[in-house]
Amino acid sequence: MLVAAPACAAEYTAADPENDDPEIADAASDGAPSDAAVLGDGSGDATRDATTGDATIGDGGVCPTDVNARPNEGLAEQLYTARCPAGMIVAGAVCIDRYEAYVDLVDAQRQTIASWSPYYPPPKNKAIAARSAPNAVPQGYISGADALRACEGAGKRLCASDEWLRACRGSAQYTYPYGNTKRPGVCNDSYPGHPAVTCLQSSDPSVFSRLDEPGINQQAGTVDRAGTNPGCVTEEGAYDMMGNLHEWILDGPPPPATAAVDFRGGFYADTTRNGEGCLYKTSAHNFAHYDYSTGFRCCAPLR
Angle at 229 between CA 224 and CA 233, to 5 degrees: 120
Nearer to Ca ion, 97 or 204 (CB): 97
Any contact of residue 224 with Ca ion (CB under 5 A)?
A: no
Give the residue from 217, 151, 160 showing the smallest Cα distance to 188.
Answer: 217
Nearer to Ca ion, 27 or 280 (CB): 280
For Ca ion, what does the binding mask look like between residues 249 and 268, x meaning CB under 5 A?
----------------x---
Instruction: Compute the least distance from the CB of residue 44 to Ca ion, in Å.
Output: 27
Nearer to Ca ion, 204 or 224 (CB): 224
Nearer to Ca ion, 85 or 266 (CB): 266
Neighbours of 4 (CB within 10 A): 15
Instruction: Compute the least distance from the CB of residue 88 to Ca ion, in Å.
Output: 16
Instruction: Compute the least distance from the CB of residue 14 to Ca ion, in Å.
Output: 27
Gap between the Cα atoms of 89 and 135, Å rounded? 17
Q: What is the 3-state secondary structure (H, E, C) of 139-190?
A: CCCCCHHHHHHHHHHCCCEECCHHHHHHHHHCCCCCCECCECCCCCCCCCCC
Interface of this chain with Ca ion, residues 261 to 300, rule: CB under 5 A: 265
Nearer to Ca ion, 217 or 244 (CB): 244
Any contact of residue 240 with Ca ion (CB under 5 A)?
A: yes
- For residue 238, give the amino acid letter: A
Any contact of residue 140 with Ca ion (CB under 5 A)?
A: no
Choice from 244, 271, 274, 293 touching Ca ion (CB under 5 A)? 244
Interface contacts to Ca ion, rule CB under 5 A: 240, 244, 247, 265
